[in-house]
Amino acid sequence: MKFETNVKEIVRRTYNVKSFRFPRPSSLSYKAGQFMFVTIRSGKDEARKHFTISSSPTEKGFIEFTKKLTGHPFANALDALKVGD
């Protein structure tokens, strides 16, 4: 399944770890431990990485992944996201 969405919520877990939540499409089902690809677009540039889904499959309101912010360009792009992006 492929879908485009906006950031619903950002949860700071520690000083360098954040969880990013997005509205979960009602037709999306997954099992614990599955992963998803996340693509961030900025103008013409596009970056894509895979992340293990950190939200429970029983959580119907959102889908979430968690990332340690390492200073890597993709991590910096995630760190710059705001709710609604």
Question: Where residue 22 sits, what CATH number does that domain have?
Answer: 2.40.30.10
Residue 81, pLDDT score: 92
Q: What are the φ and ψ backbone dihedral angles of 55, each rounded to 5 degrees?
A: -85, 155
What's the number of domains the chain is made of?
1
Residue 42, pLDDT score: 72
- Domain presence at residue 76: yes
- Domain presence at residue 85: no
- Domain presence at residue 3: no
* Predicted TM-score (pTM) of this structure: 0.90
pLDDT digits (tens, 9 = 90+) for 30-79: 999 999 999 988 778 888 999 999 999 999 999 999 999 999 888 999 99
Residue 19, pLDDT score: 97
What is the extent of the structural domain holding 59?
Answer: 9-80
Is 10's pLDDT higher than 80? Answer: yes
- Residue pair 75/17 in contact by the 8 Å Cβ criterion: no
Q: How confident is the model at residue 1 (pLDDT cuts 50, 70, 90)?
A: confident
- Domain presence at residue 4: no
Vertex 51, ends 47 and 53: CA angle to 5°?
140
- Domain presence at residue 2: no
- Domain presence at residue 67: yes
- Domain presence at residue 18: yes
